[in-house]
Amino acid sequence: MPGRNVEPLLGTSHFRVLIGRREVGFSEVGSVTSQTDPALPADARHAFASVVLRRALTGSTELYDWRRAIVAGKDDRRPVTIQLLDGPGGTVAGSWQLVGAWPSRWSGPALNALESGIAYEELELTFDDVVWSTPDNPTGG
């Protein structure tokens, strides 16, 4: 019986996120989703669900400031790249570039005096397109 060529399975705990060219640390990234609603008109039926990024709250206000710029009317769209790594400090196994991303929601931490957890902030990104790249297909598509 010939040996099977089984592709390695990828984990979900090693990743990095770049906003523009700057790496920003996050503890959680929601799934990237492309969806179609056939009930909508042809020019509006294909869409991308927003992606939520979550990280421990620090003294940095950069994500909040980006959201405030949008609220103030600035068109501040940026490329956001989510890179899945093959292990701790490993090589990029795949990446998703969110094209024309902008923060449609920022949330500060929920507070509870009865718990001793970590304060988190969330940034929800809306975007125009997504390009999925792999080592075998570096340009996506």
- Would you say 51 and 125 are in contact if contact means Cβ atoms under 8 Å apart? yes
For 95-119, the pLDDT digits (tens) are 999 999 999 999 999 999 999 999 9
Amino acid at 81: T
What pLDDT is recorded for position 1? Answer: 52
- Would you say 56 and 28 are in contact if contact means Cβ atoms under 8 Å apart? no
What pLDDT is recorded for position 8? Answer: 76
Cβ-based neighbour number of residue 19 at 10 Å? 21
Which position has the token pair 């304060």? 119
pTM exceeds cut of 0.85: yes
Q: DSSP letter string over 19-60?
A: ETTEEE--SEEPPP-EEE-TTS-TTTSEEE--EEEEEE--S-
For 17-29, the pLDDT digits (tens) are 999 999 999 999 9
What's the sign of the alpha-carbon dihedral 57, 132, 51, 30?
Answer: negative
Delineate the domains of the chain, giving CATH numbers in brackets. Answer: 15-133 (2.30.110.20)
Residue 139 has pLDDT above 90, yes or no: no
For 34-90, the pLDDT digits (tens) are 999 999 898 888 999 999 999 999 999 999 999 999 999 999 999 999 999 998 888
- Would you say 50 and 125 are in contact if contact means Cβ atoms under 8 Å apart? yes
pLDDT band at 141 (very low <50, low <70, confident <90, very high): low
